[in-house]
């Protein structure tokens, strides 16, 4: 491979360069030939005349590409210039793909490049140009390189549509020196000038080798900031609207004391933002900002991605380039491309030339690109980069002899000892402090994680004995006729259920902390929610002499689509709180329609229920408002701020005798956020509180809920409990806790079913070879062989007399999508411990073959 470059300051020089290029091509045997135009400040007519000159040449393998750049660094400070780069290959193929494209048409453009990439074997590198900053460049790179992840894409964008550059310190800023009219708006592809789109130069060949070096030098410092961004950008790929919940631009004021004035860029260039993505740090410098303090970035920031400030000294930035240089030295490129960011040069000032000068020793005819943003994508990493240094080397032959390692004078002097600059010392200092803080934070996170794991194990462990207690208690309630004992048993049931509630809260909370909580939408009757909620508070309120008022809009739809279980959980929390923290007066429960759905509501619903394809097709969205108002003790203004913090409880003295963990509201808040909603609170201390939220649900059908008083009276749609016996059926129950086996036996006494029990998976395997069971209940967590493992072995048994019988998992793990998970591994269903006798009976009724069931008249 041969690379030759020609720097031309005017048209005449360019014409004579073309003559030389023609001579070289005609005298050199080659497989492919490429001439690339990197230009600053030439007119369209001038480039056109050069292109038409080349048209008359008769080189069938010659291709042309090119791009308008903001600067060709070597030609500075004059500005205008043209760098012509000639590449001739021995064996490698080169193809220039021109892809005119307007914003919005990127998908078709992707197809075009993908097809061309797949037409080659051994694609190693793609030099890539883009014109028009409204194009979705990142997703174009990601999608078109799918399947070619090991090939390196590199290049830059022109500055077309860079509407209004941020004002910068006039004397010192390179970007400022290139005024809008100097930047040409087209770029070259083949023999044409194209205004908008992409140009890709594909390099492919079996023997072709590529070395790609990405150098930065800036290191993240301090904490990370949350961001909110919008994708609808007039420029670049991301508008960051808020950083750390402030208008984005204010972060510079808060942390650096920098105001958005004409010195803005100069003042922030040492501190680019950095986003850390899978070990790949990318710097971001805003391209522009607007009146609202929103910042425009070239790069696409993913939703929820966090930013940190970064910091570097000259030596660190140059040190990173030096590493890149050393790696190129050992690679020995035959062609070399450097892509440099303006911010780097801006920052390095008089040292800037070191970034490229020393590469002349490695590849004297290297190309230097300096456009708007460095484009880089390799092994699924990269994007539009800022502050970066990219070096891409290509070679067909073997590596040439290593040259002596380069040493930058300031790096050299660093070793010898000298007065270190303030920024060098600051950098080391900040680096050390940041790493110490990170270590502390990591430790805290680790402890918190351990706490979550512990809580989740604990609550899980507690559920198992509660199961036994409540099960046995159920037996007492069923069989005992003595009044006193029945009263005790009722108290056990009530306290047991309370305990279960607390344990469930802790489990939910640790699940939320671990990010494992998900939303499972279903179709549900709104009336059943109202009825259940009414049941929850009625008795407790009556006990305290409180009035419960329902205010349910009769025009609300009867059937809705959403996560009914989580919705009930949320309302239960705020309703029980209202009753708990109210001594006299009224608790009012209100559900109202806020509005019909809009497109954005629909979007919210879709986001709340990911992976729910039916959403758009069948349901209209509706925004409903739920409010719970009480005349209770109220909350002090100071306490309001801490309301959602876990384990926080207020007025401890006053509330001493009120049960609670302080987890309810933080769970409520998190659950609502998962469903795309937000809890609002208003309260007057001593007078009462109002908790509420608005939520988008899907509407099913056109029926309305009607009068709530009528609805409360008829428990429609409730599953009837069937009274039956199954004397001919035989089931196997496997659990390593003996008391659980006894509970099941006792609970099922009434239906006279035959029950075998086993204390381990091993015992169960023996039993299924002896007997044909109608159903097998398998505990999940057992020592030695757990439920899933036992099931697997059961299925492999040759002599399984119970093969084909439904196997049901017994679990105390209330996973959100437990059913799907268990079915996936081969269970027919699952039963959550502790279970009510009715649930167990209903399950048997469903799974036992009908001929073995004798239905009795209902007890009701
Ligand atoms: P708890 O289990 O203590 O009720 P929550 O997280 O549900 O925990 O509530 C946290 C705290 O907020 C409560 O301890 C109480 O001080 C206050 N609080 C919640 N709801 C109300 C209400 N309706 N009226 C007054 N105070 C309330």
For 712, the enclosing helix (H) or strand (E) is helix 708-713
Q: Is the pLDDT of residue 607 over 50?
A: yes
What residues pair up with 595 in beta bridges, in sequence order? 623
In the block, which residue shows the tokens 């006299």? 584
Least confident of 150-154, 290-294, 388-392, 528-532: 290-294
What residues pair up with 99 in beta bridges, in sequence order? 198
Q: Is the pLDDT of residue 411 over 80?
A: no
pLDDT (tens digit per residue) in 618-663: 678 899 999 999 999 999 988 887 777 766 667 666 666 666 667 8
What is the Cα–Cα distance from 38 to 66, expressed in whole angstroms? Answer: 6
- pLDDT bin (cut points 50, 70, 90) of residue 177 is very low
Question: Over the chain, what is the mean pLDDT?
Answer: 83
| Torsion angle defined by CA atoms of residues 763, 764, 765 and 768, in that order, rounded to the nearest 10 degrees | 130
What φ, ψ does residue 514 adopt, rounded to 5°?
A: -85, 5
Least confident of 137-151, 596-610, 689-703, 789-803: 596-610
Going by alpha carbons, the residue nearest to atom 18 of ligand 1 is 577
Any ligand 1 atom below 6 A from CB of 689: yes
Any ligand 1 atom below 6 A from CB of 649: yes
Any ligand 1 atom below 6 A from CB of 190: no
As a whole number of Å, the end-to-end CA separation of the chain is: 91
pLDDT (tens digit per residue) in 584-601: 999 999 999 998 877 667
pLDDT (tens digit per residue) in 75-117: 544 567 888 999 999 999 999 998 988 888 888 899 999 999 9
Any ligand 1 atom below 6 A from CB of 227: no
What is the Cα–Cα distance from 786 to 760, expressed in whole angstroms? Answer: 8
3-state DSSP helix/strand/coil % of the chain, to nearest 5:
40, 25, 35
pLDDT (tens digit per residue) in 328-359: 988 999 999 999 887 888 788 888 888 888 88
What residues pair up with 694 in beta bridges, in sequence order? 625
Global confidence as pTM: 0.58
Q: Which residue has the higher pLDDT, 610 or 807?
A: 807
If one residue of 664, 680, 686, 691 were mutated to test the ligand 1 pocket, choosing by the most ligand atoms within 8 A of its CB, it would be: 664
- pLDDT bin (cut points 50, 70, 90) of residue 34 is very high
Neighbours of 849 (CB within 10 A): 12
Contact 209, 395 (CB under 8 A): yes
- Comparing C-alpha atoms, which of 812, 806, 809 is closest to residue 820? 809
What is the Cα–Cα distance from 3 to 366, expressed in whole angstroms? Answer: 8
What is the Cα–Cα distance from 220 to 311, expressed in whole angstroms? Answer: 7
Q: Is the pLDDT of residue 765 over 90?
A: yes
Any ligand 1 atom below 6 A from CB of 667: no
Say how many Å lie between the CA of residue 662 and the centre of ligand 1.
7
What is the Cα–Cα distance from 51 to 365, expressed in whole angstroms? Answer: 22
Any ligand 1 atom below 6 A from CB of 512: no
- pLDDT bin (cut points 50, 70, 90) of residue 731 is very high
Going by alpha carbons, the residue nearest to atom 4 of ligand 1 is 660
Say how many Å lie between the CA of residue 700 and the centre of ligand 1.
35
Q: Is the pLDDT of residue 304 over 70?
A: yes
Atom of ligand 1 nearest to the CA of 688: 24
Residue 172: per-residue pLDDT: 31
Tell me the chain's radius of gyration from C-alpha atoms: 36
Going by alpha carbons, the residue nearest to atom 20 of ligand 1 is 577
| Burial class (CB within 10 angstroms; exposed 0-12, middle 13-18, buried 19+) of 328 | buried
Residue 859: per-residue pLDDT: 54
């Amino acid at each position: 491979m041969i690379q030759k470059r020609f720097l031309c300051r005017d048209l005449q020089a360019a014409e004579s360069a073309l003559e030389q290029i023609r001579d070289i091509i005609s005298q050199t045997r080659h497989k492919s030939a490429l001439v690339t135009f990197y230009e600053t400040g030439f007119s369209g007519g001038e480039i056109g005349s050069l292109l038409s000159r080349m048209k008359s040449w008769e080189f069938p393998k010659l291709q042309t590409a090119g791009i308008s750049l903001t600067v060709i660094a070597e030609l500075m400070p004059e500005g205008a210039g043209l760098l012509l780069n000639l590449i001739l290959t021995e064996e490698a193929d080169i193809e220039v793909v021109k892809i005119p494209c307007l914003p919005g048409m990127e998908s078709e453009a992707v197809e075009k490049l993908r097809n061309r990439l797949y037409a080659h074997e051994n694609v190693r590198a793609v030099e890539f140009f883009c014109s028009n900053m409204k194009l979705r460049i990142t997703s174009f790179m990601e999608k078109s390189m799918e399947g070619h992840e090991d090939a390196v894409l590199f290049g830059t964008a022109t500055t077309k549509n860079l509407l209004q550059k941020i004002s910068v310190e006039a004397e010192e800023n390179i970007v400022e020196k290139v005024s809008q009219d100097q930047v040409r708006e087209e770029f070259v592809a083949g023999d044409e000038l194209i205004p908008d789109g992409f140009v890709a130069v594909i390099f492919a060949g079996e023997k072709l080798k590529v070395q790609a070096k990405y150098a930065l030098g800036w290191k993240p410092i301090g904490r990370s900031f949350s961001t909110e961004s919008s994708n609808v950008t007039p420029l670049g790929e991301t508008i960051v609207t808020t950083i750390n919940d402030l208008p984005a631009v204010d972060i510079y004021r808060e942390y650096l004391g920098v105001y958005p004035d004409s010195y803005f860029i100069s003042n922030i260039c040492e501190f680019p933002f950095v986003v850390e993505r899978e070990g790949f740090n990318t710097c971001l410098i805003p391209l522009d900002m607007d009146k609202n303090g929103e910042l425009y970035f070239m790069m696409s920031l993913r939703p929820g991605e966090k930013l940190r400030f970064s910091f570097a000294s000259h030596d660190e930035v140059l040190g990173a380039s030096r590493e890149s240089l050393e790696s190129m030295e050992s690679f020995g490129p035959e062609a070399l491309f450097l892509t440099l960011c303006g911010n780097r040069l801006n920052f390095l000032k008089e040292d800037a030339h070191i970034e490229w000068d020393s590469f002349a020793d490695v590849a004297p005819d290297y190309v230097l690109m300096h456009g708007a943003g460095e484009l880089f994508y390799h092994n699924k990493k990269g994007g539009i980069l800022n502050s970066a240094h990219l070096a891409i080397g290509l070679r067909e032959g073997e590596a040439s002899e290593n040259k002596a390692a380069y040493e930058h004078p300031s790096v050299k002097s660093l070793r010898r000892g000298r007065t270190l600059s303030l920024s060098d010392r600051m950098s080391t200092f900040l680096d050390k402090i940041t790493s110490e803080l990170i270590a502390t934070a990591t430790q805290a996170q680790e402890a918190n994680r351990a706490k979550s794991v512990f809580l989740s194990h604990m609550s899980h462990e507690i559920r198992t004995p509660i199961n036994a207690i409540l099960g046995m208690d159920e037996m007492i309630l069923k069989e005992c006729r003595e009044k006193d004992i029945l009263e005790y048993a009722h108290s056990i049931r009530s306290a047991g259920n309370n305990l279960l509630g607390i344990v469930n809260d802790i489990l939910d909370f640790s699940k939320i902390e671990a990010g494992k909580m998900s939303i499972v939408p279903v179709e549900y009757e709104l009336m059943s929610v109202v009825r259940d909620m009414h049941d929850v508070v009625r008795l407790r309120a009556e006990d305290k002499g409180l009035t419960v008022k329902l205010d349910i809009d009769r025009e609300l739809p009867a059937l809705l689509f959403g996560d009914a279980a989580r919705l009930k959980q949320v309302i239960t929390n705020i309703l029980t709180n209202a009753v708990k923290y109210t001594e006299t007066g009224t608790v009012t429960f209100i559900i109202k329609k806020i509005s019909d759905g809009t497109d954005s509501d629909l979007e919210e619903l879709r986001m709340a229920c990911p992976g729910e394809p039916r959403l758009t097709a069948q349901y209209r969205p509706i925004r409903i408002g739920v409010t719970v108002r009480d005349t209770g003790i109220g909350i002090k203004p100071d306490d309001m701020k801490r309301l959602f913090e876990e384990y926080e409880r207020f007025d401890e003295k006053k509330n001493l005798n009120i049960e609670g963990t302080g987890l309810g509201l933080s769970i409520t808040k998190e659950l609502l956020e998962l469903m795309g909603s937000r809890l609002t609170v208003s309260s007057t201390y001593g007078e009462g509180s109002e908790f509420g939220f608005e939520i988008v649900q899907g509407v099913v059908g056109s029926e309305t809920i009607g009068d709530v008083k009528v609805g409360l009276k008829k428990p429609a749609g409730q599953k009837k409990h069937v009274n039956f016996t199954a004397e001919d059926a035989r089931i196997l129950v496997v659990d390593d806790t003996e008391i659980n086996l006894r509970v099941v036996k006792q609970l099922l006494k009434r239906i006279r079913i035959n029950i075998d029990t086993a204390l381990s998976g091993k015992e169960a395997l023996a039993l299924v070879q002896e007997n044909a069971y109608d159903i097998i209940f398998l505990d999940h967590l057992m020592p030695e062989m757990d439920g899933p493992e036992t099931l697997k072995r059961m299925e492999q048994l040759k002599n399984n007399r119970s093969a084909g019988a439904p196997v049901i998992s017994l679990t105390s793990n209330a996973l959100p999508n437990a059913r799907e998970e268990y079915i996936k591994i081969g269970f027919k269903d699952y039963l959550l411990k502790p279970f009510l006798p009715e649930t167990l009976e209903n399950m048997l009724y469903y799974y036992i073959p009908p001929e073995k069931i004798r239905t009795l008249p209902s007890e009701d």
